[in-house]
A and B are shown apart, each in its own frame.
Chain A
């Protein structure tokens, strides 16, 4: 019911605008685009006045006058300067954007705590359901207004106005001042539009700079639809067709929503609908012309036309509604046991909002809430249309949603003004206080709670200061119509105010095309650092900023970590996924019975912080080691390459939840396992790997084998989860935080990045690492005994020296060994240092080439071939590891023996000989370290083990191909010989 009533209410409110559009479009015969601006103008004026305590009725009157004034300007431009009406409208609409922003002072005025017309109406409710009462009063008011309008068009003045639009020459001949009449008409039209804007703002509880987009299109569609339904020539019918059209338009949206149609398709549906009605009226018009001759058929044909369009509307609405009924009632949501319903609504598709939403959904799932089973999750997206948000919320009301989860400020604002009787948990809001959700974290609307926080401006500035000293200028670009951006820029400006060394310069933009110019202008003003706060437009046009910044070597600090790979220098921002996670826990608490009133607003907890090392190099900036150590995301092109080889970004973390992990405490979920009396309480261990490269997979295999065979899992009732970041830093990041949140009892990380990221996130859970070359360089430990208290593990240096020794034995004549490595990889660096020492010992010369990503490998190898190396040696480099088969192939073409420190390389045919750690063994050893901890030792007292179970694999087949003889001494040591 609410959905339909809500749609009617909106229809009535928008009907004022539709009547305005009817005046310009049908009476004056031009589509006036000014309404896109005057709608917002009315909302802005009414909003500001309400905030200043002006009576709502007066505020609406002023909204009408303001709208009328804007219409007057359009008409004057059109008449006096002889500018085409469409163009005049566009000019005024464009100008109004700035004027509206000035009037509002910001992009959004919350009216939730103001006395509005709606609260007046509520006050005089004789005892009906509020929605129905609202609908009756609004409907009554609109119909009354329609009657007044129709009467007006019957008066001498109204007749003259109609004649002006219908035949201006004739109008002038009867003494009508055509110009003045046009001004009057367009002013009246925009006055009505302003009134409509003021009404809608009061109804939805806020005025927003973006609420006018597409108004004229909605108006035109409504007029055309209405006309085709009420096909009568009387002026009463014409005026009322505008109202009816507005109602039908809103009902259509409601139907589409009820059906579960994606709102993306709404616009298409509107277009189809308008086209269909136009076609229907065209068809009957043709018939009409034919039948005028037989004049007694005329009245009948008019009825036919009306019948056709009424039928078209009915059929459309009914089929869609019928389908909707089936889907809605056929869905598992409407089962006999009422399930808890959560309505998720977001304003638009935007990567950051999506991350928050997905974070929320994933976390909910993890906590055991499964849509259709023990709860119902209704997801809606308004695709950027503010009025659709209202429809969505009405739909939620209709579906008796128990809790609303709005993502983003605009949705939250709409939700808290619409819902007073059920919990609203928000996320993705920079400041809930500016939208009237509360006065402080604890003192807030009784049914509202959520997670908020702007960009960490102070932290960003602190980091900027580490790179810039003395006087310098920072700058940012933002869209003043985005509430979040304005808030964040304000924060930044406040900080800079108290900082005498820093000057703030900024530019605003209204669309992504303007970003390039804005960035260039800032650069010309002598900007030293870009500090970009979250802004949809600027972030989407990041490339433009980057280009401008590169021209003068200006570092970019940004809040969105994803932009690091695109070339930002430093990113520090809130982790949008974790915002969703955090909100999910609030929802969980509410479901379990807590009152939103008692749940304080939470700030975004988790930061993501990172650098792009390539950019740093380009800019000639050195990152202080302590900052680097704090960073949880480090990007260089190698990482990008690794990511490419792995899964695409933003894949959900792979995890296999164990039976008991999801502490599901939903009312119906009574499946919690009570531990058997003879068993110790269940503990949970997680094995976290960074990427699925062969050595790491081997290590993992060893770990799992050893854990299982040792019997420790059974004995201590330990369940094991498995997580892989798929070579993706962001994923690794969220896995780490997930591990913390789920509060595992033990963590085993395999590979260096997994260790690093986990160590950063975790200071308490016992953590055992393996598959790591050098934990000492990473600040995990100084010596095997002196290490971080909760972390221990196994360090496995690559047997570089042993491999070089083997090369000497196989190739006694060789002089030059070539190597390829990526200087940004810690392990590769360590191995290369070791190789430099070893070649001296065995009388070789080492020729090095550097790569920064997988794509560089071919070129690097060619360079080595040209330098006539006798052998190729690689060790510890991830890029090479990923491309080892390719390297082997190239070497085979040039008949250059290839040596590595990973046994499987020779085993699979890529290398001639490999001496490396047996990673399965390493895994076993790692497991043994873990077992020490599980059985009760404090990790602090478990020294790190330096353990290299050397394993040699010889590819005898390849040696034969090259005509080389492998000395027996070597063959005897080999664990495996490939024949």
Chain B
């Protein structure tokens, strides 16, 4: 379903703030796979998801979704195929519009928007049923603006909005990181439910080792703009969170070593 080939991206090229964020990432994800992504801060996880969503154009490489080369497409053009949930609960909804209006626009994702009124009683009934699945008693507040909801409620709603019109690819970027543990657990439960129900091809970034191991059919690990490990479902069942943490510790060591070596080299030369 997703095929990424040798993707490179450098931000702010040629300036003091230059960051080489993706250094040749290749990844193939089959239809229905649920991939969790882990990695240190700044390793390029979000950048990878943004590359798939089309937030920016890569320097080189290719992105294919459902057999279509979308490398040169704008984000709003790819919206037909992809839906996303962001880390920030405020980013996924329009705060001054009502729940119904937000859901309706989510439902229209990737479709042309004509000046005609479709948000009528029959459709509202459908949205009401969908909201009921969240089990958050939001179905009676369909006409409240989103701005009046709590972060957990919002994020659950964003999730619902992402799947209300089932996408080819679902991108989740640490979508529970900003929530309190109780809400986080609830949103994770919903995530699992929606993905399984729709058999959605998903990419989910997380910082929780246990989540990474528990959820999904496959886990990839990123470091310094590269995928350094790809753990299959079978392998995941053998690993514990401690094993994963060890892997990180190892990485840190090598990094430190490199720093020391650099220092030495510098000293030799000066």
Interface residues of A (CB under 8 A from B): 151-152, 154-160, 162-163, 166-167, 169-178, 233, 292
Report yes or no: B119 in contact with A154, Cβ–Cβ below 8 A. yes
What residues of A have a CB within 8 angstroms of the CB of B104 in the complex? Answer: 156, 159
Name the distance in Å between A191's Cβ and chain B's nearest Cβ.
15
Q: How far is the CA of A163 from the CA of B95 in the complex (A)?
A: 9
**A154: chain B residues within 8 A (beta carbon):** 117, 119
User: B218 on the interface (CB 8 Å rule)?
Assistant: no
CB-based nearest B residue for A177: B76
| Contact status A151-B75, CB under 8 Å | no
Return chain B residues, CB-CB under 8 Å to A169.
86, 91
Contact: A175 with B79, CB < 8 Å?
Answer: yes
* A177-B79 Cα distance, complex, nearest whole Å: 10
Q: Provide the bound-state CA to CA distance between A172 and B78, in Å.
A: 10
B118 at the interface (CB under 8 A from A): yes
Among the stretches B108-116, B204-212, B226-234, the one at the interface with A is B108-116
B120 to chain A minimum Cβ distance, whole angstroms, is 10
Verify if B69 is at the interface (C-beta below 8 Å from A): no
Known: A158-B115, A175-B111, A176-B113. 17 other contacts (CB 8 A): A154-B117, A156-B114, A160-B105, A160-B113, A162-B94, A166-B96, A170-B91, A170-B92, A172-B75, A172-B76, A173-B53, A173-B79, A173-B109, A174-B109, A175-B109, A176-B76, A177-B76
3 closest A-B pairs by beta carbon, nearest first, are: A175-B79, A166-B94, A156-B113
- With A151-B117, A155-B115, A163-B97 already in contact, the answer to whether A233 and B79 are too (CB < 8 A) is no
Q: Mark B173-192, 1 if CB is under 8 A from A, else 0.
A: 00000000000000000000
Supply 26 A–B pairs (Cβ within 8 Å), ascending by A.
Answer: A154-B119, A155-B115, A156-B114, A156-B115, A157-B113, A157-B116, A158-B115, A159-B101, A159-B104, A159-B105, A159-B119, A160-B113, A162-B94, A162-B101, A163-B94, A166-B95, A167-B91, A167-B94, A170-B91, A173-B53, A174-B106, A174-B109, A175-B76, A175-B77, A176-B113, A178-B76
> A159 touching B114 by the CB < 8 A rule?
no
In the docked arrangement, what's the CA distance between A589 and B105, Å?
71
* A159 pairs with B97, CB closer than 8 A: yes
- In angstroms, how far is the closest chain B Cβ from the Cβ of A882? 74
The answer, among A151, A162, A166, A174, for a CB contact under 8 Å with B108, is A174
Is B142 an interface residue, CB under 8 A from the partner?
Answer: no
Instruction: Quote the shortest CB–CB distance from A173 to chain B (angstroms).
Output: 6
Which residue on chain B has the smallest CB distance to residue A173? B84
Cβ-based interface call for B148 (8 A)? yes
Using A162-B96, A166-B95 as known contacts, say yes or no to A292 and B76 having CB atoms under 8 A apart.
Answer: no
Tell whether B155 is near chain A: CB-to-CB under 8 Å.
Answer: no
- Asked whether, in the complex, the Cβ of B148 is within 8 Å of the Cβ of A292, the reply is yes
The distance in angstroms between the C-alpha atoms of A157 and B96, with both chains bound, is 16
Interface residues of B in 10-63 (CB under 8 A from A): 53
A163 to B94, CA, bound (A): 6
> What residue in chain B is nearest A155 (Cβ atoms)?
B115
Cβ-defined contact, B110 with A175, below 8 A: yes
Residues of chain A lying within 8 A (CB to CB) of residue B77:
175
Central interface residue in B86, B111, B113, by most chain A CB within 10 Å: B113
User: Does A159 lie within 8 Å of B76, measured CB to CB?
Assistant: no
Q: Across the two chains, which residue of chain B brings its CB closest to A176? A: B76
Q: Closest chain B residue to A298 by CB distance?
A: B148
Number of residue pairs A-B, CB distance < 8 angstroms: 89
B145 at the interface (CB under 8 A from A): yes
Chain A nearest CB from B72 CB (Å) reads 16
User: Would you call B114 and A157 a contact (CB within 8 A)?
Assistant: yes
A contacts with B: majority SS: helix
Residues in B whose Cβ lies below 8 Å from that of A172: 75-76, 79
Residues of A within 8 Å of B118, CB to CB, are 155-156
Q: Which of B53, B95, B115, B118 is packed against the most chain A CB atoms within 10 Å?
A: B115
Q: Is the CB of B83 within 8 A of A173?
A: yes
| Docked complex Cα distance between A126 and B90 (Å) | 55
Q: Does B168 contact A (CB under 8 A)?
A: no
Q: Does B224 contact A (CB under 8 A)?
A: no
A residues within 8 A CB of B113? 156-157, 159-160, 176
Q: Which residues of B contact A163 (CB under 8 A)?
A: 94, 97, 102, 105
Cβ–Cβ < 8 Å partners of B94 in chain A? 162-163, 166-167, 170-171
Most chain A Cβ neighbours within 10 Å, of B79, B95, B104: B79
Decide: A167 near B110, CB < 8 A? Known: A152-B115, A154-B119, A175-B79: no
Shortest beta-carbon distance, B252 to chain A, in Å?
Answer: 34
- Across-interface contacts of B111 in A (CB, < 8 A): 175
Measured CA separation A233–B118 after assembly (Å): 20
Nearest chain A residue, comparing its CB with the CB of B98: A233
> In whole angstroms, what is the CA distance A167 to B93 when docked?
7
Decide if B80 is an interface residue (CB 8 Å cutoff).
yes
Q: In the assembled complex, how far is the CB of residue A64 from the closest CB belonging to chain B, in whole angstroms?
A: 16
Given known A-B contacts A174-B108, A292-B148, A162 and B97 have beta carbons under 8 A apart: yes
CB distance from B46 to the nearest CB of A (A): 13
Which residues does chain A contribute within 8 Å of B95, judged by CB atoms? 166-167
* Chain A residues with CB below 8 A from B83, complex form: 173
Q: How far in angstroms is the closest Cβ of chain A from B160?
A: 13
> Which B residues lie within 8 Å of A177 (CB)?
74, 76
Shortest B5–chain A CB gap in Å is 24
| Residue of A155, A170, A175 contacting most chain B CB atoms (<10 Å) | A175
Give Cα distance in the complex from A155 to B105, angstroms. Answer: 10
Cα–Cα distance between A171 and B77 once the two chains are bound (Å):
12
Identify which of A155, A170, A178, A233 gathers the most chain B CB atoms within 10 Å of its CB.
Answer: A170
CA gap between A156 and B108 in the complex, in Å: 8
Residues from chain B with Cβ under 8 Å of A173 in the complex:
53, 75-76, 79, 83-84, 92, 109
Chain B residue nearest to A169 (CB atoms) is B91
Q: Residues of B contacting A170 with CB < 8 Å?
A: 91-94
Q: Nearest chain A CB to B140's CB is how many angstroms away?
A: 12
Contacting residues, chain A, for B91 (C-beta < 8 A): 167, 169-170
Q: How far is the CA of A156 from the CA of B118 in the complex (A)?
A: 7
With a CB–CB cut-off of 8 A, which chain A residues contact B79? 172-175
| Residue numbers in B under 8 Å from A157 (CB-CB) | 113-116
Nearest-neighbor residue (CB-CB) of B101 within chain A:
A159
Mask for B128-164, Cβ within 8 A of A = 1, else 0? 0000000000000000010010000000000000000
- Cβ contact of B117, chosen from A155, A160, A292, cutoff 8 A: A155
Tell me how far the C-beta of B111 lies from the nearest C-beta in chain A, rounded to whole angstroms. 7
Chain A residue with minimal CB distance to B90? A167
A292 CA to B111 CA, complexed, in Å: 36
Please report the C-alpha to C-alpha distance between residue A159 and residue B104 in the assembled complex, in whole angstroms: 9
Q: Closest CB of chain B to A223's CB: distance in Å?
A: 15
The answer for the CA separation of A115 and B76 in the assembled complex, in Å, is 48
B117 to chain A, nearest CB (A): 5
Give A5 Cβ to nearest chain B Cβ, in Å: 35
| B-side contacts of A156, CB under 8 Å | 104-105, 108, 113-118
In the bound complex, CA of A172 to CA of B105 (Å) = 11
Q: Which residues of B contact A160 (CB under 8 A)?
A: 105, 108, 113
Measured between alpha carbons, how far is A159 from B119 in the docked complex, in Å?
Answer: 10
Q: How far is the CA of A178 from the CA of B53 in the complex (A)?
A: 15
Q: Which residue of A lies closest to B148 (CB)?
A: A292
A158 to B104, CA, bound (A): 12
In Å, the complex CA distance between A181 and B221 comes to 39
Output the least CB separation between B169 and chain A (Å): 12
**How far apart sit A199 and B55, CA to CA, in the bound complex (Å)?**
44
User: In the complex the two chains form, what is the Cα distance from A156 to B97 in whole Å?
Assistant: 13
Among A152, A158, A159, residue most surrounded by chain B Cβ atoms (within 10 Å): A159
Q: How far is the CA of A167 from the CA of B94 in the complex (A)?
A: 5
Tell me the smallest distance from the CB of A847 to a CB of chain B, in Å.
80
Docked Cα-Cα span, A292 to B75, in Å, equals: 36
Inter-chain contacts of A159 with B (CB < 8 A): 97, 101, 104-105, 113, 119
C-alpha gap A174/B74 in the complex (Å): 12
Complex: A673 Cα to B102 Cα, angstroms = 87
Measured between alpha carbons, how far is A176 from B104 in the docked complex, in Å? 13
How distant is the Cα of A170 from the Cα of B157 in the complex, in angstroms? 13
Residues of A within 8 A of B115 (CB): 152, 155-158
Q: How far is the CA of A233 from the CA of B91 in the complex (A)?
A: 21
Q: Which among A160, A171, A174, A176 has the highest number of chain B CB atoms within 10 Å?
A: A174
